[in-house]
Amino acid sequence: MLYHLFRYLDIRYDLPGAGMFQYISFRAALAVIIALLVGIIFGRRIIDFLRRKQIGEDIRDLGLQGQLEKRGTPTMGGVIILLAILVPTLLVGRLDNVYVQLMIVSTVWLGLIGGLDDYIKVFRHNKEGLKGRFKIVGQVGLGIIVGTTMWCSGDIVVRERNIETTETVYVDRAGDTVGTGTQRVVVESEDLKTTQTTIPFIKDNEFDYAWLTGGNTVAAWLVYIIVAIFVVTAVSNGANLTDGLDGLATGVSAPIVVVLGVLAYLSGHIVYADYLNIMYIPDSGELVVFAAAFAGALIGFLWYNSYPAQIFMGDTGSLAIGGIIAVFALCIRKELLLPLLCGVFFVESLSVIIQTGYFKYTRRHYGEGRRIFKMAPIHHHFQKEGFFETKIAMRFWITSLLLAAMTLVTLKIR
């Protein structure tokens, strides 16, 4: 909104300072500040409102080390995160950018699904919440929207650069060769509709899903839509499972969002993309503004969600966080980096799958269900082992930071 307003003022009236809004870095900084202010200032009012309406959740003592019996703590705090994302994005983002539009739709879509789940739990007093199959339907629906938009939109392209390398010979005054040098020059470029993505740790690390279909373009995009559905569903549910301790999901997600913002900036900058030999994705740099708002929203929410939590994010926040991360990665063609970048989400999900599968297997074959972990997801296993809630959350944050750094390293290690 402000971008378009100040652009008009700059062109029409040459307003001093209006040109600042043309810079992504300036608007990203504004987005962080606005998101933090919305999260901290309006967060307090939302918490008070939820307390007055008695919209709370009871976490009773399960015999876990360091866990308080939390009664009446307000839930549905994900509303704070969603507001803190959407307000700065709408204010300082480019609303005519297809990637920003896709992220706004994803945020609202998943927020509604999570909000419906929390509504059923709190107001209908149904602890199961929204049926799992309905959540999956919603996540699949978003995957189809994202995949189809990536397919059909003419604004979503990858710019293929044809690089010509020239060699220069340097001679002295006597005509003797003193050295040589090479120079890379972009001789031409073209926009391509492609199903390419990035594979980490591999030289010339671009993989095209069309390879799986023998070059059939339509089939390749159908495969891509299936991949989009899987990625959105997996990461969204992984973040949902991670939301089990005060500040855990929020603190783990913040480094992930920052790294995605860095990758978006590099992918949307033709010079850096060429230098790092990664795909140049025109207009994707605008996602940096959204990533900045997202990171600011998470940190602002952590102000109230850190131990002991004054509010829980509920599925309104956790489902949205994971889904937004997934859609963001798909937009910048980095979805294959998610198992590394979102390693904490991945391990949390894997612990539940292993625990459930092993329990069912042993019950079928031995007549008694057995467990590998003392409790799943795995953060509760560590509580059973005697670790305090705050220590587990902090160590998971550190792990997420380490995985984020390793993800950035993939830009150079191939």
**Residue 292: pLDDT over 50:** yes
What per-residue confidence (pLDDT) applies to 65? 47
What per-residue confidence (pLDDT) applies to 38? 95
Mean pLDDT of the chain: 88
Inter-axis angle of helices 217-242 and 248-267, nearest 10: 150
Confidence of residue 289 (pLDDT cuts 50, 70, 90): very high
- Alpha-carbon torsion (346, 348, 352, 357), positive or negative: positive
Q: Which residue has the higher pLDDT, 299 or 130?
A: 299
Q: Which residue has the higher pLDDT, 268 or 167?
A: 268
3-state secondary structure of 190: strand
Name the phi and psi angles at 55, rounded to 5.
-90, 80
Closest CA to 320 of 20, 149, 80: 80
Distance CA 71, CA 84 (A): 26
Q: Which residue has the higher pLDDT, 152 or 215?
A: 152
**Residue 303: pLDDT over 80:** yes
Question: pTM for this structure?
Answer: 0.90
58-80 confidence digits (pLDDT tens): 555 455 544 555 666 888 899 99
- Mean pLDDT to the nearest integer, 167-182: 66
205-227 confidence digits (pLDDT tens): 788 999 999 888 899 999 999 99
Which residues, in sequence order, are CB contacts of 409 under 8 Å at separation 6+? Answer: none
86-100 confidence digits (pLDDT tens): 999 999 999 999 999
Which residues, in sequence order, are CB contacts of 74 under 8 Å at separation 6+? Answer: 47, 50, 51, 55, 56, 57, 310, 311, 312
- The region of weakest confidence among 8-22, 123-137, 203-217 is 8-22
Confidence of residue 56 (pLDDT cuts 50, 70, 90): low
Distance CA 89, CA 107 (A): 11
What per-residue confidence (pLDDT) applies to 150? 94
DSSP string, 43-87: HHHHHHHHHHTT-EEEE---S-TT---EEEEE--THHHHHHHHHH
3-state secondary structure of 170: strand
Strand residue runs (E) in 90-145: none
Q: Which residue has the higher pLDDT, 401 or 19?
A: 401
350-373 confidence digits (pLDDT tens): 999 999 999 999 999 888 889 999
3-state secondary structure of 377: coil
**Residue 265: pLDDT over 90:** yes
Place of tokens 């708002």: 293
Residue 236 to residues 44, 57, 103, 296, 390: CA-CA distances in angstroms?
26, 22, 14, 20, 24
- Mean pLDDT to the nearest integer, 133-160: 93
- Mean pLDDT to the nearest integer, 328-343: 96
Percentage, residues of the chain above pLDDT 90: 64
What per-residue confidence (pLDDT) applies to 68? 52
